[in-house]
Structure 1
Amino acid sequence: MSPGTAPPVVPRGGGREAITRAARESFAERGYHGTSIRDIARGAGLSLSALYHWHAGKQDLLAAVIEESTAEYFGRCDEALREAGDDPAARLGALVRATVEYRVSRQVESTIAASEWRNLEPAHRERLAEMRSAASRLWADLVDDGVARGVFRCEHPDDARRAVIASCNAIAQWFEPDGGLGVPELVERYTAIARRIVDCR
């Protein structure tokens, strides 16, 4: 900053949140490549200098949006499993419920994480892949435990796990809040589907 130049005006509180919200909305509407850093600053009601106070650029913002989404999903799953106890069938239902509820309540974030992942630079992708792997391990450990204890009888646990995750994740792509299907019913349906896939008896 040159002598006599005033520092960027950064709003008290909400600055980072406003920027992240604007980035999320712009990525969802225009895609990563269709979004400019000026679009995000304008959407947040900030100057470019104020935006750069929080983030180095558009790539960092994409990583931040995906990181926040992944962390929230992982947190919900972790909490659901803690509350479910030790029974594999109950834990499967809890994990399905957490995933379905997240995909419904965070459709925009889920879509961005899925569609814009390829646009992350290697350093961001490598770091965030570790978070994704941790969430996947929750499912893998659950299915493996159910098989080991004879509660799940699927012959191919890895394929079963992938099928359950894919079906739940896809909800973000098609769910319509006004489509006549409520979240509790959706959870019930997908829990039944998951139980059939893992052959829960």
Structure 2
Amino acid sequence: MAEQSLGVGESVRLLRVRRGLTLRSLAKVVGVSVGTMSAIENGKVAVTIDRLRQLANALGVDAAALMDVRSEAPVVAADPSLASVGQRWREFGPLDLDPVLEAAVEAFSEVGYHGATMRMIADAADVGIAGIYRHHQGKKQLITAIGEALEVDAAWRVEAAAADFRDDPARAFGAMVEALSLCQIHRLEPALVIETELRRLDELSRERIVALRHAMTRRFEVVAIAATELGQFATSSPAGTARTVVALCRALPLRFGGGSALPGASVAEEYANLALLMMMASKVQQN
């Protein structure tokens, strides 16, 4: 895939993910609200020279770098700096959403896309309706923002899990499956909203989330192929099997959403073990 130049907002998001930073933590360092930082990353507000310098300092790059960050995909290969993250990828607090997006998740979960109104969401978030439209044009844009937040959160966790086993692709793959499964489990409500409402988005908005998902799937494929080349996996189609594994992880909210018994960490471990068995299927048959 040919490289493409990214806008300042996309560059900020890309570098933030590489460093394992949340939207909230970067906003705090720069000295702006989470809503403003979200608007910057989504290209909704202009970035002044002074703000550009603040962002660059917070991300540890030259200001010029934010004008010319290039990438083949929104999610990058494991960054060596992620090694310092350690087991943080297994630790979950609230998803990094502003009050409007939190209210939107609740509304979509309770009454669905058609039942939820912008007024309902504004009241739940305790903001004026104009405050919502300042950053989000409508319900489709809210779903897009929720989906992007989920993917960004999952991206650094999957990459950090891979970095824990940099020299062992098979173990890295298992850890990546566990990380993605944990994300779907701990972010069950917003993940279920995205899985059920993604079809509501227009083509352009849907492509933004799909591009992030495809980039993550490619990471799983690359690691699976590496493990196969080392003789750790025996599947005849490592990339295809990896895609199936990712799809199973993505479907976790559909499996447990609305159920009385919520899944625990053991489910993530179960999925990781299942993924490794799928990758070793040919060896199992041979034995």
With structure 2 as the length reference, what TM-score do the two structures score?
0.60
Match 2:195 to one of 91, 108, 114: 114
Match 1:33 to one of 105, 110, 114: 114
CA–CA distance in 1 between the matches of 2:248 and 2:33?
38
Would the aligned equivalents of 1:152 and 1:198 in 2 still touch at CA under 8 Å?
yes
Would the aligned equivalents of 1:97 and 1:187 in 2 still touch at CA under 8 Å?
yes
CA–CA distance in 2 between the matches of 1:22 and 1:143?
38
Q: Does 1:166 align with 2:275?
A: no
CA–CA distance in 2 between the matches of 1:120 and 1:54?
17
Q: Classify 1:84/1:22 alpha carbon distance in 2 versus 1 (closer, same or farther; 3 Å).
A: same
Paired residue for 1:91?
172
SS in 1 for 2:115: coil
Q: Does 1:60 align with 2:141?
A: yes
Q: How many residues align?
A: 189
Would the aligned equivalents of 1:107 and 1:173 in 2 still touch at CA under 8 Å?
no
Residue by residue, what CA displacement relative to the aligned partner does 1:135-189 show, whole Å, maximum 9, x if unpaired? 1111111111111221110022233113322222232233489748641x32332
Q: Does 1:132 align with 2:202?
A: no
CA–CA distance in 1 between the matches of 2:233 and 2:123?
52
Q: Does 1:42 align with 2:119?
A: no
CA–CA distance in 2 between the matches of 1:56 and 1:182?
36
Paired residue for 1:4?
none
In structure 2, give the amino acid aligned to 1:195: L
Would the aligned equivalents of 1:69 and 1:113 in 2 still touch at CA under 8 Å?
no
Q: Does 1:157 align with 2:241?
A: no
Deviation at 1:123, TM superposition (A): 1.4
| Identity score, percent | 29
Paired residue for 1:71?
152
In structure 1, give the amino acid aligned to 2:135: W
- Within-5 A mapping of 1:3-22: 17-22=98-103
Q: Classify 1:181/1:75 alpha carbon distance in 2 versus 1 (closer, same or farther; 3 Å).
A: closer
CA–CA distance in 2 between the matches of 1:188 and 1:123?
35
Residue by residue, what CA displacement relative to the aligned partner does 1:44-100 show, whole Å, maximum 9, x if unpaired? 111212222222222211111111111111121111111222211210121011012
Would the aligned equivalents of 1:65 and 1:109 in 2 still touch at CA under 8 Å?
yes
Would the aligned equivalents of 2:241 and 2:278 in 1 still touch at CA under 8 Å?
yes
Q: Does 1:80 align with 2:156?
A: no
Paired residue for 2:42?
none
CA–CA distance in 2 between the matches of 1:128 and 1:178?
29
Paired residue for 2:93?
none
In structure 2, give the amino acid aligned to 1:146: A
Deviation at 1:13, TM superposition (A): 5.1
Q: Does 1:191 align with 2:272?
A: yes
Match 1:23 to one of 104, 113, 138: 104
Would the aligned equivalents of 2:234 and 2:280 in 1 still touch at CA under 8 Å?
yes
CA–CA distance in 2 between the matches of 1:193 and 1:164?
9
Would the aligned equivalents of 2:170 and 2:223 in 1 still touch at CA under 8 Å?
no
CA–CA distance in 1 between the matches of 2:195 and 2:215?
17
Bigger relative contact order (CA 8 A; separation at least 6): 1
Residue by residue, what CA displacement relative to the aligned partner does 1:98-125 show, whole Å, maximum 9, x if unpaired? 0121111000121122111111111111
SS in 1 for 2:231: coil
SS in 2 for 1:74: helix
With structure 1 as the length reference, what TM-score do the two structures score?
0.83
